[in-house]
Amino acid sequence: MISTKHELKEFLTADRVAMGFEKKSRLIELLKGNLDSVMLLNHMIFLRKYEYFLSKGKRKSFFYKLRYLYYKHTYARKKLKSNLFISPNVFDKGLCLVHPGYVWIDRSSRIGKNCTVLPRVLLGKKHPGIPAPCIFIGDNCYIGTGATILGPIRIGNNVTIAAGAVVVKDVPDNCIVAGNPAKIVKYKE
């Protein structure tokens, strides 16, 4: 949860670096014609600012509540426009969205640092009665196109989930999983 302006700046910097914007500006990318990458970065900026004002929204100040409502409304519009349905306070620093496309990650998930997510990814519960959070994904994970992860589940650090994999069982650290249902195909060294 982002609770200070310093943490907000750290999260935004880590997300920019993960998405390849460490020294590039959005204007230069727009002039090059990279509209998709700029749209994804703008989506991430509004997500992180919404998370910050969500934690600050309980303050009594009228202006904080007004800014919270602005970011909440704008982020809701951006979710519909971009098809990126990511709940707030799910990802840690360094989230990288590679391509635009449908992504559904609900609030039952907790995902570590430096995670890469491709389009058509679904993270959710197996049954509606399971208490949240029930999906835990470690640091430095890569989730391929079309992957489905159903909780309750724990996925370790440095895990690669192949395209189209359906993960329903726990996954240890440093491995690659693929298939339906997903099985370990290789251990990383």
Q: What is residue 110's three-state secondary structure?
A: strand
- Helix-, strand-, coil-residue percentages of the chain, each rounded to 5: 35, 25, 40
Whole-angstrom distance, CA of residue 156 vs CA of residue 56: 31
Q: Alpha helix (H) ranges present in the chain?
A: 5-18, 26-32, 35-56, 62-82
Q: Which of 6, 43, 99, 127 is catalytic?
A: 127
Q: Parallel, antiparallel, or unpaired for β 148-151 and 166-167? A: parallel
For 56, residues 6+ apart whose C-beta sits below 8 A from its C-beta are 3, 64, 68
Rounded Cα–Cα distance for residues 159 and 115 (Å)? 10
Report the C-alpha gap between 143 and 121 in whole angstroms. 8
Catalytic annotation on 127?
yes
| Cis check: omega of the bond before 100, within 30 degrees of 0 | no
Residues marked as catalytic: 127
